[in-house]
Amino acid sequence: MEAEKLQEVAFDIILSSGDARTLVHEGFKNMRQGEYAEVEKSLAKANDLLVKAHRVQTGFLREYANGEKIEMEIIMVHAQDHLMTTMTLKEVATEMLALYQSISDK
């Protein structure tokens, strides 16, 4: 894979996961305000962006698995870190939403 293509893939991952991260943080704000329907909307949008980023990542990995030589660059390491951190943050937000809702139901 050419360096330019690798950078394009990395920036696609960073952009999608960054937008998802922003939505997750909006969800946290809405949780604190008790606006649970808004949280669910934010987390659903975040999930869509994470799925998009994950598909880009999977395409990259598929090329590698098919024998394409890939010279790793630091930007791709950063992209992978960004994606995995945001995926984890979204999972935490989903669990926190359930907790917030169970507390407010009492």
Residue 56 tokens read as: 């880009």
Question: Is 25 a known active-site residue?
Answer: no
Are 14 and 54 in contact, with CB atoms under 8 Å apart? Answer: no
Catalytic: which of 25, 54, 78, 82? 78
Are 52 and 19 in contact, with CB atoms under 8 Å apart? Answer: no
Are 9 and 78 in contact, with CB atoms under 8 Å apart? Answer: no
> What is the Cα Rg of the chain in Å?
17
> Which residues are identified as catalytic?
78
